[in-house]
Chain A
Amino acid sequence: MDDMLALALAYGLLIALLLGHSILTALRMKDLDARLKAAVESMESASKVREGSDLSEE
């Protein structure tokens, strides 16, 4: 393989590897954050519905 081509290819791929990992991790974190918020909201609305039905039974 050509000397300079090898140098450029190796550095390019390694930088892409580290950047790609960072981007994927950040996207996964954002997705989990959204799912966590949605789950918390669902739990809150479920407990409100439960409280409402408890009151109507009384």
Chain B
Amino acid sequence: MSATDRLIPWLLGIGSLGLLATVYLALVEAPPMGENAGFTAPEAYRILFIHVPFAWVSFTGFALLFGGSLAWYLRRSEIGWRLGVTGARLGLLYSLGVLISGPIWGAAEWGTPWDFSDVRLNTFAVLAGVALFVALGERNSEDTAEIRDSLSAVGIFGFGLVPLTYMATRWWQERHPGPVIGGGEDSGVDPFILQIWLIGAASMQILFIGQTLMTMRLLRMENEVEEMLTILEA
């Protein structure tokens, strides 16, 4: 077992503990937000304590997908390909978290789970679709250079949606709340809420690194099994 493999249980354990602490802070310590704070669902707002870190970490997945796809496309890097696939799988996992929690909060707060006129919601859903396409494509196709090229191209061009999704609430703010960090004079958030978000994001990021190493190991093992079966069949 390599040194990075030995890190996996530690990273998963620390990340999970941090996440449990975040859930406790969000459900127990954070104060309820009434109408005076601009919320119609004073308890459901606690969903945002976990929705926001899920969204931040999903972008790390999309960045891995982009970097890995680029490394495969330009250098034929095997590790790059595995990183890209890992980014797609984990980007999909975390974006599913966003797409589950967001509409539930929307249903309680706005009275509707989705708004097709909101650019942020729709570009994020398409990003999750890109991750889904690459993850399923890799799993269900033959492992050839041509298939890898096609899936990498989707990963590279799909990443164009990341800056668009980030800027969407600044350019066309419809229903999704505007930026609370770095969003100008009108933005900002209560320091305690920000603290919980940061603890949640840091914990989830540690968990994500552990999951990345674990998925990379899984892909390496899949490759070893394939190679051995090819030798045995020859």
Q: State the A residues within 8 Å of B (CB).
A: 1-7, 9-11, 13-15, 17-18, 21-22, 25, 28-29, 32-33, 35-36, 39-40, 42-43, 46
Contact = CB atoms under 8 A, between A and B. Distances in A.
**Main SS at interface, chain A:** helix
Contacts of B7: none
A33 B221 contact: yes
Given A11-B47, A32-B221, A6 B232 contact: no
A46 B209 CA distance: 39
Contacts of A9: 104
Contacts of B147: none
B52 interface: no
A42 B232 contact: yes
A15 B102 CA distance: 15
B222 A32 contact: yes
Interface string B96-110: 110011001101100
A11 B22 CA distance: 12
A41 to B, nearest CB: 11
Contacts of B43: 3-4, 6-7
29 contacts: A3-B108, A6-B41, A6-B104, A6-B107, A6-B108, A7-B27, A7-B47, A10-B100, A10-B104, A10-B105, A11-B23, A11-B27, A13-B101, A14-B54, A14-B100, A14-B101, A15-B23, A17-B100, A22-B12, A25-B214, A25-B215, A25-B218, A28-B218, A32-B218, A32-B222, A33-B221, A36-B224, A36-B225, A39-B225
Nearest to B54: A14
A36 B220 CA distance: 11
Interface of B: 12, 19, 23, 27, 41-44, 46-47, 50-51, 54, 93, 96-97, 100-101, 104-105, 107-108, 207, 211, 214-215, 217-218, 221-222, 224-225, 228-229, 231-232
B231 A14 contact: no
A45 to B, nearest CB: 10
A2 to B, nearest CB: 7
A10 B214 CA distance: 26
A2 B41 CA distance: 8
A21 B214 CA distance: 12
A40 to B, nearest CB: 7
A41 B189 CA distance: 60
In the A-B complex, list the 5 residue pairs whose CB atoms are closest, starting with the nearest.
Answer: A6-B108, A39-B228, A1-B107, A6-B44, A10-B47
